[in-house]
A and B are shown apart, each in its own frame.
Chain A
Amino acid sequence: NAGVTQTPKFQVLKTGQSMTLQCAQDMNHNSMYWYRQDPGMGLRLIYYSASEGTTDKGEVPNGYNVSRLNKREFSLRLESAAPSQTSVYFCASSVTSGGAGDTQYFGPGTRLTVL
């Protein structure tokens, strides 16, 4: 039982390049989330998927797209990376959706630098 896994762990991109961050969970959770963490800003929600087949924007969605490939996998894509997207990205999952109180389980993060 690996929990939430993310790949890659580190990535350096040049401005304008594209890449996809991968996330998978093996806990049979319905909901999955992508956050970015920046110093002094806390964790900000980029996109989330309440259940397989649905996705919706969070607080800071501009410059990102997501795909809920199946119940286990939720990917985040940067189409044209910008230096402002330099951050640590976390994927999380929770059991269910529609109600408060579900623990979110986080992956180990991807540290992305855009030059």
Chain B
Amino acid sequence: QQQVKQSPQSLIVQKGGISIINCAYENTAFDYFPWYQQFPGKGPALLIAIRPDVSEKKEGRFTISFNKSAKQFSLHIMDSQPGDSATYFCAASKRGGTSYGKLTFGQGTILTVHP
């Protein structure tokens, strides 16, 4: 059962353009939504994260938009650069119980930024 669905699978953007990756979740108990960035041959690393008490979080060129009623969140990369070419994963987790901070990941999006 895929509780976090991510789209698109792959994305090609020109340098300077905006990259947008979308995720939808099913479990309303989720209350933490991070995005991880993975370069080829490396492990994923946290890029930016949001909690559902805010609708948007911005860090430099990276912004998360969150829509609690629609159970959707998205990553926007402004002024995309070739160095942003990587695989991006959205994820979700919930507090308490036996969750122990377990993350449920989306399927991943391979982003290619052409110079």
* CA gap between A50 and B101 in the complex, in Å: 9
A97 → B minimal CB distance (Å): 4
Could you list which residues of chain A lie within 8 angstroms of chain B, going by C-beta atoms?
4, 31, 33, 40-45, 48, 50, 56, 58, 90, 92, 94, 96-109
Output the nearest chain A residue to B30 by Cβ-Cβ distance. Answer: A100
Q: Contact check, A42 vs B6: say whether CB atoms are below 8 A apart.
A: yes
Q: Contact check, B43 vs A101: say whether CB atoms are below 8 A apart.
A: no
Report chain B residues within 8 Å CB of A96.
101
Could you list which residues of chain B lie within 8 angstroms of chain A, going by C-beta atoms?
6, 9, 30-32, 34, 41-46, 49, 51, 89, 93-96, 98-108
Q: Contact check, B31 vs A100: say whether CB atoms are below 8 A apart.
A: yes
Q: Contact check, B96 vs A58: say whether CB atoms are below 8 A apart.
A: no
CB contact between B98 and one of A41, A56, A109 (< 8 Å): that residue: A56
Report chain B residues within 8 Å CB of A106.
43-45
Q: Contact check, A104 vs B107: say whether CB atoms are below 8 A apart.
A: no
Q: Contact check, B89 vs A45: say whether CB atoms are below 8 A apart.
A: no
B86 → A minimal CB distance (Å): 14
Q: Contact check, A101 vs B100: say whether CB atoms are below 8 A apart.
A: no
Output the nearest chain B residue to A49 by Cβ-Cβ distance. Answer: B100
Assuming A101-B51, A108-B43, is B106 touching A58 (CB within 8 A)? no
Report chain A residues within 8 Å CB of B51.
101
Report chain A residues within 8 Å CB of B34.
103
CB contact between A99 and one of B89, B95, B98 (< 8 Å): that residue: B95
Assuming A100-B32, A106-B43, is B108 touching A42 (CB within 8 A)? yes
B50 → A minimal CB distance (Å): 10
* CA gap between A102 and B94 in the complex, in Å: 11
* CA gap between A100 and B101 in the complex, in Å: 5
